[in-house]
Structure 1
Amino acid sequence: MNSSHANKMTILNKEIIQQTFYKLLPQHAFRNPVMACVWVGTVLTVVATLMGSTSLGFGLLLTLILLVTVLFANYAEAVAEAKGRGQAASLRQARENLMANKLTDLDSSQTPELISANLLKKEDLVLIKAGEIIPADGEIVRGFATINESAVTGESAPVLREANTDRSGVIAGTKVLTDQIVVRVSNEAGHSFLDKMIALVEGANRQKTPNEIALGILLNIMTITFIVVVVTLPFIGSMVGIKISVVLLVALLVCLIPTTIGGLLPAIGIAGMNRALKANVLAKSGKAVEVAGDIDVLLLDKTGTITYGDRQATAFYPLTGIGMSELRQAAMMTSFADPTPEGKSVVSLAREMGETVQEPEQAAFIQFSAATRLSGVDLADGHQIRKGALDAILGFTEQDIRNNIELKTRVEQVASKGATPLVVAANHTILGVIELSDVIKQGIKERFALLREMGIKTIMVTGDNPLTAAAIAAEAGVDDYIAEARPEDKLACIRNEQAEGKLVAMVGDGTNDAPALAQADIGLAMNSGTQAAKEAGNMVDLDSDPTKLLDVVEIGKQQLITRGALTTFSLANDVSKYFVILPALFAVAVPQLEVLNILHLGSPKSAVISALIFNALIIPMLIPLALRGVKFKPASALQLLRRNMLIYGVGGVVFPFIAIKLIDLVVAVWI
């Protein structure tokens, strides 16, 4: 194993070195204007040296330093890209040589046709049995199965996927462990999530973010400004009798322009995408990762995000005049058509208590939906039985809660404990209440407190009644909540916050979440969710963990902080280099400039060489920081700015003085 790992590392290092030199080609070098100036300066220095503009040894030494500067910048980008290619290679293994058992229709009893997965089209039906690899992204339309998603998510624990639920989505390259399922293909070959991930990690589809574009424009403007200044210097110098060689002008330009951040900017962008993928979050663009760092409002579902999400029926409370067995039997019959975990737990609890009711024949079942917020059954004898939220059942029975004090009291008692009350009714008679219990996730309150410190508002969205919602919101520590929420309520909340100029993020997994996911600035869809949700969101969590939204915010913050910190450090470096280069160029002709030579460097030549060596070495020194990211600590924007200026601003001015002086002590001995 150690030998295999060593071989992989050797191959990886060779690829990085090859890419470092390959990026010297003009078609690649000129994609980065700042480093393109260094590249052109290297060529000019060679030409000027060969034409006798400066001594051969000095000119070649400067040429070598400039070339190394470009190579270090290329190396930073190559290392970031290599990490992506390594991830892509492992992802490709999950989809190689996949075959599919294609069905002609859902009810077909004929033998499936075995074809290559690459020939599958959207809406095709595929039969997948235990032990087989899922050949394409899609949704389960029949059956259920446990699936190993480790090829994509890295998580070895199997997960359950089932038709007609919000956990019906499957992804190509994952393996069915038990039972068999029929999947409707949702993506053409070449457009699956694996394909998108591979393209993203290889950088093929990585688009620059708005902040990255803005910073790039700033760097380009600075570079053009300094080019104009440097080009005009010979004319100004000739007026006062100063002759400046082309080699020194190139050295001055390279030290003036922001080469450090210019060389690291591509690596920072690629590393941000890699950090998101390392967290098993598939971002459809780099913009999505970065926008997460600017989020003002988080919209979170209660179930699965704030609580563990496995609400279970824990008690039945019949109203006066209703027998316990009658309530349990009615609750069971309404739950036969309820595929949710809560519905299944009602059946399970009733059976544990001794009920043996079987699924009624010739009955019309009403499945639970987020819109109606109830489920039920219409029996052959005309009886209608329903189970659902209080307001939905009151609407069904055409009753007023003010006329049923016992029901109101029981619902409030259940809700005050943070549990969810479900009401059961038969025809126009309310039978009783079912208690569904859930547990707040450990540490979630502390995480919300950290978000509050960053100025991010948290809003809990739940279908529970206001009493339950208030109890859980208080226990979890969220800033606000929306009770008895319908899909349109989520959408309205997002639009209201956005109308106030705020950026909003939310998480969802069902088809009914799709409008809100599409409207939100950051829509994090669960990989286990429906295809509609995944298409609507601009991020997909491969682990299907709703709390990942909190991690996404931290990744986005870290991306912004890293770029800001390194930009501050780079620009602060330039201040120090000015005090080194300018006296070296002009102190002989203009003695008054000697006052700027605060470091008392050995000679003008050693000063130039020392500054350029520092300029080159600082890029590889910062590569680990650019790839790893500046450590994120929750704080307000003002606190982050102060910390940034103190560490990377002041440090960026002081450190070059010390480093250049030390380099000069060595260089002066050899010149």
Structure 2
Amino acid sequence: MNHEHHQHSNQHDHHGKGGHDHADHYKHDQKKSGGHAHHDHHKMMVQDFKFRFWWVLGLTIPIMVLSPMIQHFLDVDWRFTGDTWILAILSTGVFFFGGKPFLTGLVDELKKKQPGMMTLIGLAISIAYFYSTAVVFGFKGDLLYWELSTLVGIMLLGHWIEMRSVMSASSALEELAALLPGEAHKVNDDGSTEDIPVEDLIQGDNVLIKPGEKIPADGIVVKGETSVNEAMLTGESKPVSKTKGDEVIGGSVNEKGSITIKISKTGDDSFLSQVMKLVKEAQESKSRTQDLANRAAFWLTILAITAGLITFAAWVLFTGQSLDFAMNRTVAVMVITCPHALGLAIPLVVSRSTSIAATNGFLIRDRTAFEEARNLDAVIFDKTGTLTKGTFTVTDILNFGETYSDQEILKYAASLEKNSEHPLAKGILEKAAETWEPDAFDSIPGKGIQGKVNGKSVKVVSPGYVREQEMGYPNEEVEEISSQGKTVVFVIIENELAGAIALGDEIRESSKKAIDALHKMGIECIMLTGDNRQTAEYVARELGIDQVFAEVLPNEKADKVKEVQDQGKKVAMTGDGVNDAPALAQANVGIAIGAGSDVAVETGDIVLVKNNPQDVTSLIHLSKSTYRKMVQNLWWASGYNIGAIPLAAGALYVWGIILSPALGAILMSLSTVIVAVNARFLKMEEQ
């Protein structure tokens, strides 16, 4: 039972602090207590509400059948000797077992002097229970046990629906740690190698990394040369060449040759650990928005208590009415204020909007952030993999003579590139319709590759090689393509400069539409990338981006987001790489591209499953529609109460109009139906 109390105390603490925001509560606490442990704890809480709900539902059926008021309404008479005592016993179970979360919450909220939803529910069920029990013992009035049981049941159902719909398993830090391999090939002093756990590596150790393996820790190349894919860590789409003396980052992937590195940083000092630290700090410092329902409950609680006290005092002190009449009026006021509809107003809309979002290609992981999306002033996009496809594609073929056609130049280059593992080679091969088998193949260190294809000598080389050989080519045309951030390789056939092939990171078709749609909504669009400024500026011009942050180091990305936030703007960050994770966490709304790294997906508040930037505009529209629907439901739930309170208090008594506790309870049920139906009308098209 102590554990059970601990569970609900946590839940109620959260309600008292300002909201039903279980997702943000979970995400915040996870950093303190560990992902799996808190996930299990949260899951237990969901199961607990579910268990209590089914028990209360089972007890509510006989309570309804035995209630004189329900029998009168159905025009039946099932009364028998001792039926009120059975009602009292069953209702006692409902009150103490089913109502325990709310009673505990009431105590916690009052201790903190922050009355909210739990206080309102706790007061309502307590008044209904003790008033009805007094009636059983002879007090003149109506039994409201059925009102007690239905209120507890609906509140448990509301919490169960809400918690289940927003529960998420945020494991960003685990995903980051998973980037590192489990073992490393340590090179001993005698030249032999042994596999040891990565955590056993110390500064100064020499480690062998084979092609295709992940680099186990930060270090410096002491032997060999290769190209390393750092896209997941730095955002740079091109593999980076590494030779003796160059630094490599733990978690990046060795693409080509075998290298030996000397470990320079391990543990907390490593680059990856620093990124993990940034993610943790940014997530923990994220501000919370107060839950709408809790604010409504706070004022409704104040109103209910005040109205109840005034009603009781007015009837007893100023009208000379009997004590039981005054008590009935007071109970009617408190029953009218029972938040049947208020308890479901938000959860039903949340559940509906979460379902609509998933159907349309994005998953809501943090409800608070999703609701915040309606107020965005700026959206920051990562370039590589978000606005662009993140892969090299042939964009241009330049022909410098008449000997070979464009397709022949591409075919010769692709045939030679068949033996290369370089990403540029993959881009050329994908473009070529067909290839020959090369007769010979060799690399030109640092410059390119050469060999025999279809009986001819062929070279695919860098601009540097062409300049060294003093081969002439149309500089202006090549420089214009290079200014667009594209990579140009030259094709030499039989010692003749036949042409050049340009490759670039292709811009997504949907990116331009997304930027245009955001501009129409009055939202500023910003690009944030680790890529070079020339490439970034070109993509920005093509898309109509308002502002560009280029050549930004991974540890600076979150700072850039904060810089925009410091201008008083609410900011969304959209990205897919590990280097984007701190920025995703820092932003008011973190939007992860689904095909990106697991850590970006786990750090994001919203995940775009279809990798479509246009979904950013869709989620903003849905956020606005959801908020409007929530406000409508809260007006139905709270406004209904406010309007009925004077009637329950007996304001129209002089004209013979009086609202009994029983009639008040029935009318309150109607507002619940209205709220449920209204939530179902939420649609994606609402804008």
TM-score category of the 2 structures, normalised to the smaller one: 0.5 to 0.7
2:127 alignment counterpart: 41
Task: Report the Cα offset of residue 246 of structure 1.
Answer: 1.9
The TM-score normalised by the length of structure 1 is 0.56
Deviations 1:446-479 (A, max 9, x none): 6555544543333456766478536632xxxx5x
Cα distance in 2 for partners of 1:513, 1:397 equals: 38
Amino acid at match of 2:552: P
Q: Please say if 1:27 is aligned against 2:101.
A: yes
| Residue 17 of structure 1 pairs with residue 54 of structure 2 | yes
| Equivalent of residue 501 in structure 1, options 568, 583, 586 | 568
Q: Which of 626, 641, 648 is 1:581 aligned to? A: 648
Supply the distance in 2 between the matched residues of 1:322 and 1:504 (Cα, whole angstroms).
Answer: 55
- What is the alpha-carbon distance in structure 2 between the residues aligned to residue 124 and residue 293 of structure 1? 48
Sort the Cα spacing of 1:226 and 1:482 in 2 relative to 1 into closer, same or farther, 3 A.
closer
> Quick one: structure 1 residues 315 and 409, their matched pair in 2 at CA, closer, same or farther if it must change by over 3 Å?
closer
Secondary structure at the counterpart of residue 150 of structure 2: helix
User: Pairwise mapping of residues 426-437 of structure 1 onto structure 2 (< 5 A)?
Assistant: 432=500, 434=502, 436=504
**What letter corresponds to residue 236 of structure 1 in structure 2?**
A
CA distance in 2, matches of 1:214, 1:122: 48
How do residues 4-403 of structure 1 correspond to structure 2 at under 5 angstroms?
Answer: 17-18=54-55, 24-31=98-105, 32-55=118-141, 59-60=142-143, 62-81=144-163, 105=184, 164=229, 166=231, 210-213=288-291, 215-237=293-315, 238-243=317-322, 244-256=325-337, 259-265=340-346, 285-301=366-382, 305=386, 312-318=393-399, 340=423, 343-349=425-431, 352=434, 356=438, 360-361=442-443, 363=445, 385-386=461-462
Q: 1:78, 1:484 → 2: CA distance?
A: 44
Shift of 1:322: 12
Q: Quick one: structure 1 residues 492 and 608, their matched pair in 2 at CA, closer, same or farther if it must change by over 3 Å? A: closer
**Structure 2 counterpart of 1:65, one-letter code:** E
Q: What's 2:671 paired with?
A: 618
The equivalent of 1:424 in structure 2 is: 489
For residues 131-162 of structure 1, the C-alpha deviation after alignment (integer angstroms, 9 at most, x for no partner) is: xxxxxxxxx99759xxxxxxxxxxxxxxxxxx
SS in 2 for 1:345: helix
Distance 1:210 1:485, change over 3 A: closer
Secondary structure (helix, strand or coil) at the match of 2:488 reads strand
Q: Which residue of 2 aligns with 1:152?
A: none
| Candidates 548, 558, 562, aligned match of 2:629 | 562
Structure 1 CA distance, aligned partners of 2:327 and 2:626?
A: 39
- What secondary structure is seen at the aligned counterpart in 1 of 2:569? coil
CA offset digits 1:17-63 (Å, max 9, x no partner) = 337569723234543222212211211321332344434xxx11x44
Instruction: Identify the residue that residue 588 of structure 2 maps to in structure 1.
Output: 521
C-alpha distance after superposition, 1:102-147 (max 9, x if no partner): 975469999999xxxxxxx99799xxxxxxxxxxxxxx99759xxx
Q: Distance in 2 between matches of 1:320 and 1:495?
A: 52
Q: Which residue of 2 aligns with 1:643?
A: none
CA distance in structure 1 between the aligned counterparts of 2:616 and 2:425, rounded to whole angstroms? 27
Identity %: 20
Shift of residue 345, structure 1, vs aligned partner: 1.4
Change (3 A) 1:621 1:526: same
Check conservation: 1:73, 1:264, Cα contact below 8 A: no
What secondary structure is seen at the aligned counterpart in 2 of 1:487? coil
Deviation at residue 385 of structure 1 after TM alignment: 4.9
CA 1:282–1:50 in 2, change beyond 3 Å: closer, same or farther?
same
| Matching residue of 2:551 | 486
Could you tell me which residue of structure 1 aligns to residue 71 of structure 2?
Answer: none
Structure 1 position 255, deviation (Å): 1.9
Give 1:408's match in structure 2, choosing from 476, 496, 509.
Answer: 476
Checking the alignment, whether the CA contact within 8 Å between 1:313 and 1:434 is kept in structure 2 is yes
2:542 pairs, out of 459, 472, 478, with: 472
Q: Shift of the alpha carbon at 1:294?
A: 2.8
Amino acid at match of 1:74: L
* 1:641 match: none
Do the aligned partners of 1:73 and 1:619 also contact (CA within 8 Å) in 2? no
Distance 2:429 2:231 in 1: 20
CA 1:527–1:412: 2 relative to 1, 3 Å: same
Q: Residues 333 and 457 (structure 1 numbering): CA distance in 2 closer, same or farther, change over 3 Å? A: farther
Aligned position for 2:36 = none
Structure 1 pair 512/331, CA: closer, same or farther in 2 (3 Å)?
farther
| Partner secondary structure for residue 524 of structure 1 | strand
Contact 1:315 1:434 in 2 (8 A): yes
What is the total number of aligned residue pairs between the two structures?
A: 488
Q: TM-score, normalised by structure 2?
A: 0.54
Q: Which amino acid aligns with 2:320?
A: G
Is the partner of 1:245 in helix, strand or coil? helix
Which string of whole-angstrom CA distances, capped at 9 and with x for unpartnered residues, describes residues 432-455 of structure 1? Answer: 45155847536x666555544543
Cα distance, 1:570–1:322 mapped onto 2, change above 3 Å: farther
- Secondary structure at the aligned position of 2:502 is classed as strand
Contact 1:507 1:523 (C-alpha < 8 Å) held by counterparts: yes
Distance 2:361 2:629 in 1: 21
Give the superposition deviation at 1:338: 7.2
Matched residue of 2:98: which SS?
Answer: coil
The residue type equivalent to 2:128 in the other structure is: T
**Which residue in 1 is equivalent to 2:33?**
none
Choose the corresponding residue for 2:509, options 441, 444, 452: 441
Q: Is the Cα contact below 8 Å between 1:296 and 1:457 reproduced in 2?
A: yes
Please state how far the C-alpha of 1:227 moved relative to its aligned partner.
Answer: 0.4
Deviations 1:335-390 (A, max 9, x none): 987754x651124446847694866358358xxxxxxxxxx6899xxx99547xxx
Question: CA 1:512–1:563 in structure 2 vs 1: closer, same or farther (change >3 Å)?
Answer: same
* CA RMSD between the two structures: 5.9
AA of the residue aligned to 2:664: A
Match of 2:380, SS? Answer: strand
Structure 1 gaps, min length 5: 1-11, 92-101, 114-120, 126-139, 145-162, 169-206, 366-375, 388-392, 399-403, 598-603, 636-671
Amino acid at match of 2:342: I
Distance in 1, Cα, partners of 2:598 & 2:535 = 29
Separation in structure 2 between the aligned mates of residue 470 and residue 104 of structure 1, nearest angstrom: 42
Specify the SS of the correspondent of 1:423: strand
Does structure 2 retain, via aligned residues, the 8 Å contact 1:465–1:484? no
SS of equivalent residue, structure 2 residue 590: strand
